[in-house]
Every structure is written in C-alpha cells, then in structure tokens.
A and B are shown apart, each in its own frame.
Chain A
Amino acid sequence: GAVVSQHPSWVICKSGTSVKIECRSLDFQATTMFWYRQFPKQSLMLMATSNEGSKATYEQGVEKDKFLINHASLTLSTLTVTSAHPEDSSFYICSATGTDEKLFFGSGTQLSVL
C-alpha cells in the first residue's frame, strides 16, 4: 500500500510554544490530505481537510487560527499547533488518499504540552 510518513512521532513542549507536524506522501501525490485528532480510547475526529495550493477546510469547532495547515506541495502538508496549551495535548494523525481512493494514515504524533 501507499506510504504516508509523519513526524515527529512525539513531541513535548512548553505551554505557549508552537509545534509543527509534517505529513508526507512518499510514493504518490496527494492533492488532499486530512488531519485527525484522537483522544485516548476514542475514535478519530476529523479536524480539517488540507488541499494543495488552497486554504484548508476546517470542521466545525476547530479553530483555524489555532491549528494552521499548509499544503505547499502535492506530497507535503503541515499542521502547526500555535501557542499550545495542555488541553491541546493529544494524538494527531494525518492521512492521504491514493489513486485507488484508499485512505492511508501516517504513524501519528503524540503531543504533550506541559
């Protein structure tokens, strides 16, 4: 299957700092990528749809100024958590659609804000 690379795998930061997470499609071009957030023992909740060359589409309740998404190329999307606070601590996962409509996920990033 297609490979989606996400890093870092985990990050610990101080409250008030910004954190950038990268998501790359390694062997295919992804015009659309998706960012999810997952709390312990819960399902994945879609945060936003990242579109190459245009603004991201955010789900209701997700602050676009808090979670900045940039999809600068067909193989890279980034999520920046700005001015992170402890309540932003979570597991963040990106995904991308291959040519056969299958959705492939990155390995996730565990963010801990102190």
Chain B
Amino acid sequence: GQQLNQSPQSMFIQEGEDVSMNCTSSSIFNTWLWYKQDPGEGPVLLIALYKAGELTSNGRLTAQFGITRKDSFLNISASIPSDVGIYFCAGRTGGYQKVTFGTGTKLQVIP
C-alpha cells in the first residue's frame, strides 16, 4: 500500500533539546494525524489536524498542516526521556476513509 515519506528515519538528541520531524506526500489529504508508538503497544494519537495551515499544540508538542495539504510537521520542545519511541504521521482523505501511514521516525533521547 501507499506510504507517506517521513523524515528523519531516526534521531538521537540530548534531553532538553527540541525535535522536528516531517511528513510529505504526493497526494492531498484532508486530515493529518500524528501518533507515538511504544514497543509492543498500539499507536497513541498525539495531535489531529483538519485544515490546511492549521497549527495545533498538545503540551510540548506542536504540529502543522501544510498549506499544500501534502505535508505536515511535528515539533517536540524540551525533550525528556519519556519522549523516546516511534512517531508516525498519517494522512486521511475523508472522515471514514482509510488512513495512510508514514514510515516512522524513531526518537532516542540521551539523558
């Protein structure tokens, strides 16, 4: 199936640093979703974006829906050890349509 291009694939950062990851697609999406997955668990929804240009925050997390509707980014400020995990972006064309997932960004935080 189709996948979104997500970068970087992995990153190591020092605790306290800010993190940025992005997702790009050749297709337009109407909804962008960002998830975090811990090993052996299902993905947990972090942020949902519904409009082009929308900027939404959830605590230390901020995500934006790109103007072209073909991209989105996620920022994590002042990273902490529990931010470790794999982050996935996901795009959706309609309310009950299937979701296409990004390739994932593995985040490691060095204390």
Contact = CB atoms under 8 A, between A and B. Distances in A.
A44 B35 CA distance: 12
Interface in A26-65: 31-32, 34, 42-46, 49, 59-60
Interface string A89-114: 00101010100111111111010000
Nearest to B47: A102
Interface stretch (B59-67, B69-77, B89-97): B89-97
Interface residues of A, number: 28
B92 A44 contact: no
B56 interface: no
A75 interface: no
Contacts of B43: 44, 93, 105
Interface string B1-30: 101000000000000000000000000000
Contacts of A31: 96
A103 B99 contact: yes
Contacts of B104: 42-43
A103 B42 contact: no
A60 B100 CA distance: 14
A46 B99 CA distance: 8
Interface of A: 1, 4, 6, 31-32, 34, 42-46, 49, 59-60, 91, 93, 95, 97, 100-108, 110
